[in-house]
Chain A
Amino acid sequence: MATKPKSSKKVPAKAPKADMLKFYREMLLIRRFEEKAGQLYGMGKIAGFCHLYIGQEAVVTGMQACLKDGDQVITGYRDHGHMLACGMDPKGVMAELTGRVGGLSKGKGGSMHMFSKEKNFFGGHGIVGAQVPLGTGLAFANKYRGNDNISVAYFGDGAANQGQVYEAFNMASLWKLPVIYVIENNMYAMGTSVERHASETELFKRGISFEIEGEEVDGMDVLAVREAGEKAVKHARSGKGPFILEMKTYRYRGHSMSDPAKYRKREEVDDIRSHHDPIEGLKGQLIEQGHATEDDLKKIDNEIKAIVKEASDFSLESPEPDADQLWTDVLIEGEV
């Protein structure tokens, strides 16, 4: 069995009520969106590869709370949660999953390939680890321009073994690029557990020989994520170069929709769901601290449900792209 996510913090992270409610809402949107995506996949409305983020919601929600306008985000193929957290329209995300013209890539990208220049979300990349040099390049551009923006490159424990990740680490540290590497360690690289794929399983140490500071974070606790994120952001923004955050997290579903996840025991999943669920955890805190009642939260649940339903309806109503879309967007005409 994989090592359980554990907190590196003895003192639980705290946050004001408004932040907690915001995080609750954002995580719940990702959870319900992904459940709906899973359902639409089951109905044959979504095809191909579809990697759900259920269980990992606290990571991107906590990290996004640390960023400002102009900061850039890039991730791999488990990307729906990141898009929603970046403020991309759930309708556009879902319609991309169903391959419709209303999708954020006009139906030409699919689950793994969505982008938003407006929201500074740079994808959505299907090749394991490729987003790490790309995200480092975004940071390079910030430094080149002399602005104070940073980039956040998310990748999984599986990608953490890719050679290009270390090539990027080296350049980022050498050139003091403002980039945060967020390793979403969900304990399995597809079906291979961290113990079976990594010689050093404490992935936050992977930057040591590049002189990149790293920290392990309880990725199931959105407040802990935010706290660690703030520190990393401050580091990167102040010109000290890259920072690694290893988020100990867990995905409840298989690697993709067609993965039955037989490589782990049901009890392992159940244990984490019952004791470490990021949404249930925050819900408990909200009620315990008197910030919200069950009824208040139920109201949020219903609002989220309506948003997801609207996204789902849109994704089924939006038409497929016109046949002439086959030939567009291969090249840009003219100069830049």
Chain B
Amino acid sequence: MSVDILMPALSPTMEEGTLSKWLKKEGDAVKSGDIIAEIETDKATMEVEAVDEGVLAKILVPEGTEGVKVNAVIAVLSEDGESASDAAAKSKPAEAKPEARAEAAVPETDKAKPEPEAEREAAPPKAAVKADPSIPEGTNFTETTVRDALRDAMAEEMRRDERVFVMGEEVAQYQGAYKVTRELLQEFGERRVIDTPITEHGFAGLGVGAAFAGLKPIVEFMTFNFAMQAIDQIINSAAKTLYMSGGQMGCPIVFRGPNGAASRVGAQHSQDYSAWYAQIPGLKVIAPYDAADAKGLLKAAIRDPNPVVFLEHELLYGQSFPVPDMDDFVLPIGKAAVKREGTDVTLVAHSRMVGFALQAAERLAEEGISAEVIDLRTLRPLDTDTVIESVKKTNRLVCCEEGWRFMGVGAEIAATVVAEAFDYLDAPPVRVHQKDVPLPYAANLEALSLPNADDIVRAAKKVCEGAF
């Protein structure tokens, strides 16, 4: 049997090259791995190795030939027992071979008709999201800090599922740098509440590996600022592996910790990463405001089979909110909440900005403007339906976020509303955000840099200008 030796492609972009040198002559025995020729492209010289064993029966393209197309037959190899001349006789010259490498390289399906429009949609069809569970009549509510609500969520899920464990810096003996993991060590022991070295990249990767193996880690970052050291593992390993494995390798993990500005800690400890993580397919991103949402959504995040980035806020940890006394209060991921109903302007916010939006709505009401406040709660998947429904009613939109405006969460929401509810808008959407500088330390500059209720009131009045 004879084997055609083809002009190889040495890179994904190569179409032709120069066959600069033959290192074997006709009649030479070659075995797989032997260098038989050298090829030059505009970028490099590469060696051609034989992949079969036999005798080089016929050289069809002499050395020094330029412009040899990829996949052209350059020589013929005779295998076991066949005479070299037989093999040569059977061969066809290079020119006779269809030259276009593209033909050979592109599978049949590629040449099919253009795909129908439906297959070119920018996003997959939206999955239906459940509504919040109804809270039975007569349920008691307990004033709980966000800190304790988060702790309770972890404790309940750890009681429920042996696979759940929490790891991070100072989560065990120190009881949490912000005391969010208080008393977990006492209840669950050091096997499931694990102090790590200060090595975010390493322990985030370790957590992802444990999740691949079927455990359900909660990885606490002391703050999300430090998670930048680990962001490769969060995105490249946790978020992308399910897809790259064709659906085999799930990663049920929660990365949680405080995100955004704290108080007077300077630029490196005060960044809002909402927009960063919310951009990544394969992640879910949650950023709650009040204690009940913090609890219900953290429980949902821990149960979720996907990697979840759970963005908390240090300045909310100590704030108290009513939390329903229910055995198992789990909220749906991907559902925004209308925190205050209104008719004149929609204020969209998440995390700490929801508090400012509520304060702003209160003040706007005093001036006769009825603001609706939407707490996004989840950033990915983003509940744009709730936002659009609201804008259809109010016809005005203010997007509030603690992070920078540029390429931010507000930009995404405004673009979506413009695309899907353009005719309902009576004014261009306005964004409230941090100033476009690293967060300063000086008290006055810090205050100038961060968005607050005043900014939201101003923005709301701007979009309502001329309406009243």
Contact = CB atoms under 8 A, between A and B. Distances in A.
B288 interface: no
A138 B247 contact: no
A281 interface: no
B139 interface: no
A328 interface: yes
Nearest to B214: A141
Contact of B202 (A38, A164, A327): A164
A114 B209 contact: no
Interface stretch (A56-64, A103-111, A197-205, A288-296): A103-111
A170 interface: yes
Given A43-B105, A163-B201, A323-B119, A330 B11 contact: no
Given A133-B233, A260-B47, A336-B252, 12 more contacts: A35-B32, A42-B9, A106-B247, A115-B244, A133-B203, A136-B205, A164-B199, A164-B233, A174-B197, A252-B33, A324-B119, A332-B247
A170 B119 contact: no
Interface stretch (B298-306, B420-428, B441-449): B298-306
A135 interface: yes
Contacts of B250: 332, 336
Contact of B209 (A135, A166, A332): A135
Interface in A129-145: 130, 132-142, 144
A16 interface: no
Interface in A237-276: 252-253, 257-258, 260, 262, 266, 273
B205 A45 contact: no
Contacts of B108: 319
19 contacts: A38-B51, A43-B70, A44-B9, A104-B246, A109-B246, A135-B209, A136-B205, A138-B213, A167-B202, A258-B10, A260-B44, A262-B44, A273-B33, A319-B108, A320-B110, A329-B246, A329-B247, A330-B242, A332-B306
B282 interface: yes
A113 B44 CA distance: 28
Interface of B: 6, 8-12, 32-33, 35, 44-47, 49, 51, 70-71, 101-102, 104-105, 107-110, 115, 119, 124-125, 127, 165, 191, 196-197, 199, 201-216, 232-233, 236-237, 241-250, 252, 281-282, 284, 303-306
A114 B241 CA distance: 9
Contacts of B124: 327, 330
- Number of chain A interface residues as a range: 35 or more
Contacts of A266: 35
B49 A171 contact: no
Nearest to B235: A127
Interface stretch (A3-11, A116-124, A213-221): A116-124
Contacts of A168: 202, 205-206
Given A109-B245, A167-B199, A331-B284, A72 B12 contact: no
B199 A336 contact: no
A332 B250 CA distance: 7
Contact of B12 (A47, A107, A144, A327): A47
Contact of B210 (A138, A326, A335): A138
A333 B252 CA distance: 12
Closest 7 A/B residue pairs (Cβ): A137-B209, A167-B202, A133-B205, A42-B8, A44-B105, A141-B213, A106-B246
A326 B127 CA distance: 16
Contacts of A134: 205-206, 208-209, 212, 233, 237
Interface in A282-336: 319-320, 323-324, 326-336
